[in-house]
Amino acid sequence: MSSLGNPANIFWQECSVGKSDRQKLLNQKGCVVWITGLSGSGKSTLACTLDRELHSRGKLSYILDGDNLRHGLNKDLSFKAEDRVENIRRVGEVAKLFADAGLICIASLISPYGKDRDSCRALLPNKNFIEVYMNMPLEVCEARDPKGLYKLARAGKIKGFTGIDDPYEPPLNCEIEIKQENGICPPPSAMAGQVVSYLNVQGFLHE
């Protein structure tokens, strides 16, 4: 075996421009907003609205969308259990790089298992991982079915679909919960506003 594979032979390259320098340049703090929830719960809608709202405030954000990454970085991965874990691990690692670059990284993935989300949280410095739980009833998500996937899952044409024949584990300690009020889903601007308020109060919107 090559001893190059020995971690002792992989060096860590330190650089003189650090996260704090980039944060000063951008006048913001790098972090990860991790949006989790069922298919159809509004993750992408929130991600896009939040991205637009932050941009309008002169903040630099970037969306890592679970589906989009499956066309690129994660195109070698299937939907079997271990590949789903690896899919989330890679998104977590890339989100960490974006946060280190000083961006507000918005990750939007079903990410149904608490364990996988917690592994991504553990990659980030304390408080820099902001978990947003799209707490929408399954019936609402299924009625929306924007991609027609619930229909396929109910017809047995998709196996292991989250919420149908695979579990979704709600976050136990998320930073932000988006839910219905009196049976009504908040509009996208209200959902994004909830996240922006949190980011503002926590000091992420200035250096």
Q: Which residues bind a copy of itself (CB under 8 A)?
A: 2-5, 7, 9-13, 15-17, 21-22, 25-26, 44, 47-48, 51-52, 55, 58, 60-65, 67-68, 70-73, 76, 78-80, 86, 90, 93-94, 96-98, 100-103, 108, 123, 147, 149, 152, 157-161
Angle at 135 between CA 127 and CA 91, to 5 degrees: 50
- Shortest distance, position 147 Cβ to a copy of itself, whole Å: 5
Question: Between 25 and 180, whose beta carbon lies closer to a copy of itself?
Answer: 25
- Shortest distance, position 136 Cβ to a copy of itself, whole Å: 18
- Alpha-carbon span 193 to 181, nearest angstrom: 15
Phi, psi of 168 (to 5 degrees): -115, 120
Q: Among 161, 207, 146, 175, which Cα is nearest to 23's?
A: 207
- Shortest distance, position 140 Cβ to a copy of itself, whole Å: 19
Question: Between 27 and 180, whose beta carbon lies closer to a copy of itself?
Answer: 27
Q: How far is CA 162 from the centre of its chain?
A: 16
Contact partners, residue 73, CB within 8 Å, separation at least 6: 90, 94
Helices 81-100/114-123 angle, 10° precision: 30
Q: Does 111 qualify as catalytic in the annotation?
A: yes
Kindly state the DSSP code that residue 58 receives in the 8-state scheme.
T
Q: Catalytic residue among 41, 61, 108, 111, which?
A: 111
Q: Report the SS3 class of residue 192.
A: helix
- Alpha-carbon span 33 to 105, nearest angstrom: 6
Q: Among 53, 94, 54, 43, which Cα is nearest to 204's?
A: 54
Question: Between 10 and 184, whose beta carbon lies closer to a copy of itself?
Answer: 10
- Shortest distance, position 63 Cβ to a copy of itself, whole Å: 6
- Shortest distance, position 113 Cβ to a copy of itself, whole Å: 16
Question: Between 25 and 143, whose beta carbon lies closer to a copy of itself?
Answer: 25
Question: Between 89 and 174, whose beta carbon lies closer to a copy of itself?
Answer: 89
Q: Mind telling me the catalytic residues?
A: 111
